[in-house]
Amino acid sequence: MIGLSGATLRQMLTIPYVALVLIAASIIGLLSYLAGLNAVNTLSNYALSETVSRIAQAVDKHIEGSEAVLETAFPTDMLPPTSVKDDLTALRTRLWLATTIHRNPNNYAYYGDKDGQFIGLYRFNETDAELRLRTNGESPRSIYTFSRIFGQLGTPVTEERIFEPRERPWYKAGQSTTEQTWTAIYIDFKTLELVSTRARRVNNAEGEFQGVVATDVSLELLNDFLRSLTLTPNGFAFIVEPDGNLVATSRGPHIQTGVNNDNSRLNAAQSSDPLLAAAFQSLRKQSEPHSPQTKPMTSSFEGPDGKIVQTGYFMLRDSAGLDWTIVVAVPRSDFMHSVEQNVQRTAWLSLAVCALIALVGLVVLNIISRDLRQLAKAAKALGEGNKFPNIPVHRKDGIGELARSFAAMQERLLTDRLTGIPNREAVIRRIEDRIIQNRRRRDSLPFVVMFVDLNGFKAINDRYGHEVGDRVLVEVSQRLEASLRLDDLAARYGGDEFIVMLNEVSDRNDAIKARTKLEIVLAEPLQSLAEFGETAAIMTTGAAIGLALCPEDGNDLDTLLNHADQDMYQRKQITSKTPV
């Protein structure tokens, strides 16, 4: 206060107070920025991990499904035919069933033997397919089109080029090992697209090599999936092999075209996208080639423009030799935009009205500190995979905007966009939590998982269009929710499939009664079709509903879902055979 010894009393009271307000405003701005930065780091890392997990879950589903495709096409103990032509009906049936398991992306299954014989079945959609056949080791393949599993084969078309299965990468890979294996990515004979193939050798009765059964995963389908993801404005995702060759990317090319218009692999380090190339170089420094990884990891690096980029990555490996890394990269500025705007507004406002906000500042300080504590709690809860508690989404400043952004992000992660009910991720978490609760408390009352598959939904889509079909899905969702108790859950699993979880039931009879109630509710005429006339107004979907009781039918997620799915399929089969 030595400098104020000659000042007036008003100055002595005002100057220190204004200085205190400025210092307090500066401190508040700094604390707000640091708290926002900390929250952004926590929440953005969680968001990156969640996005990587979603991609890994989707890719892993198809990768695991390819093993089931091979087993369906050629069960392990089944002996191969000596003549593809003589065993054509059985082979064709098994290949049809195999390509039904995961039609996207495993829509092509095939078999080639050491005599040069080949049979492959390619599914265009649910009903239409193409049979590729070679019954000797010299001639080109004959291509037949047909519809449905036992449909009559069309007029054969002979390929111009000779397809020699024994020279293809999948045949050599399957022949060289006794286990299932993934090939290196190569160019498909017919489509000239890049594919990776899962193959398995087939032995004869003497245990000697006879042929190879295989199924493809198209890189184009993986690229389409990544491009369909909703990321931040400057965020992107890609899948890469250990040597840097791109498998798929959400932006830019994943292959390069040579002078002869032939496709070849594109290495991430040579990508025309500098941010993608930098993300790959950062990944090589962060990850150990052979280190086990059970959950997504996050890191950050300095981009070519000097700005920080946050990344999440997960190494996807399986017993057949697959080794891919999934990477999601987002510039930190995409997350920090609202926080930086808030700091700028706070600074200018403090300079302009510092003399007037002294009293209000004390109140604001309490509100901000309270809201920051709530935001920190929200960050911790979201980091642990739980829903937001009450946070200051009502605020009109940057903190409120940040809170609303992450609340909306959480809502998008756990809510089906079309129907508004919980989505696949939400119901999986709920079931897993209920399983843990059941194990800890050793509940005397079981709970139920129901798998609901609508009947006749495709016919409605085909007749009235997808917009009407969407309205039907919304109506079905509302019926399901209205029929359940407060602690039960209905969720859309995908397409026209739903999952219902009954939190507690007395016994199996109680579960069956609940299922019957839902079947009656779903069998009522659809209000969504009332505008199309009397005939449409009385149309119903109905549903096949399979159920699984925990712990009687299983005490883990996969077992319960599989049991409910199998039960649903059996009920659908019975329903389809019941005369009208």
- Reported as a pLDDT band with limits 50, 70 and 90, residue 577 is low
Q: Is the pLDDT of residue 93 over 90?
A: yes
Give the Cα separation of 378 and 403 in Å (integer): 9
pLDDT in tens, 356-413: 655 554 455 555 556 666 666 666 555 444 555 566 667 666 666 776 776 666 677 7
Would you state the pLDDT for residue 414? 78
C-alpha of 536 from chain center: 35
29 against 528, higher pLDDT: 528
Would you state the pLDDT for residue 9? 45
Q: Is the pLDDT of residue 484 over 70?
A: yes
Give the highest mean pLDDT range of 32-36, 179-183, 496-500: 496-500
Best CA proximity match to 553, nearest among 508, 490, 516 = 508
Q: Are 500 and 452 in contact (CB under 8 A)?
A: yes
Q: Are 402 and 334 in contact (CB under 8 A)?
A: no
- Reported as a pLDDT band with limits 50, 70 and 90, residue 258 is low
Q: What is the mean pLDDT of residues 222-251?
A: 85
The whole-chain average pLDDT of the chain stands at 81
Give the highest mean pLDDT range of 100-104, 233-237, 518-522, 527-531: 518-522
Percent of the chain exceeding pLDDT 90 equals 33
Percent of the chain exceeding pLDDT 70 equals 75
Q: What is the mean pLDDT of residues 9-30?
A: 65
Would you state the pLDDT for residue 385? 45
191 against 245, higher pLDDT: 245
Q: Is the pLDDT of residue 120 over 90?
A: yes
Q: Is the pLDDT of residue 512 over 90?
A: yes
124 against 219, higher pLDDT: 124
**Domains defined along the chain, listed by start:** 14-45+334-414 (no CATH), 66-216 (3.30.450.20), 221-333 (3.30.450), 424-577 (3.30.70.270)
User: Burial, 170: exposed, middle or buried (Cβ in 10 Å; 0-12, 13-18, 19+)?
Assistant: buried
Q: Are 52 and 326 in contact (CB under 8 A)?
A: yes
- Strands 128-134 and 118-123, bridge-based pairing: antiparallel
Best CA proximity match to 398, nearest among 471, 324, 337, 489 = 337
Beta-carbon count within 10 A of 162 CB: 12
Residue at token pair 């999986």: 428
Q: Is the pLDDT of residue 175 over 90?
A: yes
Would you state the pLDDT for residue 398? 64
Q: Are 490 and 498 in contact (CB under 8 A)?
A: yes
Q: Are 70 and 77 in contact (CB under 8 A)?
A: no
Residue at token pair 């307090």: 24
Among 293-302, 303-312, 420-429, where is mean pLDDT lowest? Answer: 293-302
Coil, strand or helix at 251? coil
Would you state the pLDDT for residue 266? 86
Would you state the pLDDT for residue 502? 94
pLDDT in tens, 33-59: 666 666 666 766 777 878 888 888 877
147 against 309, higher pLDDT: 147
Give the Cα separation of 197 and 324 in Å (integer): 14
Among 40-49, 271-280, 379-388, 453-462, where is mean pLDDT lowest? Answer: 379-388
Give the highest mean pLDDT range of 7-16, 396-405, 431-440, 550-559: 550-559
Would you state the pLDDT for residue 579? 47
Give the Cα separation of 453 and 476 in Å (integer): 11
Would you state the pLDDT for residue 293? 63
Q: What is the dihedral of CA 165, 168, 174, 176, to 10 degrees?
A: 110
Give the Cα separation of 490 and 416 in Å (integer): 11
Would you state the pLDDT for residue 75? 93
Give the Cα separation of 432 and 438 in Å (integer): 10
Q: What is the mean pLDDT of residues 70-82?
A: 91
- Reported as a pLDDT band with limits 50, 70 and 90, residue 229 is confident
pLDDT in tens, 535-558: 555 566 688 999 999 989 998 999
Give the highest mean pLDDT range of 169-173, 222-226, 253-257, 306-310: 169-173
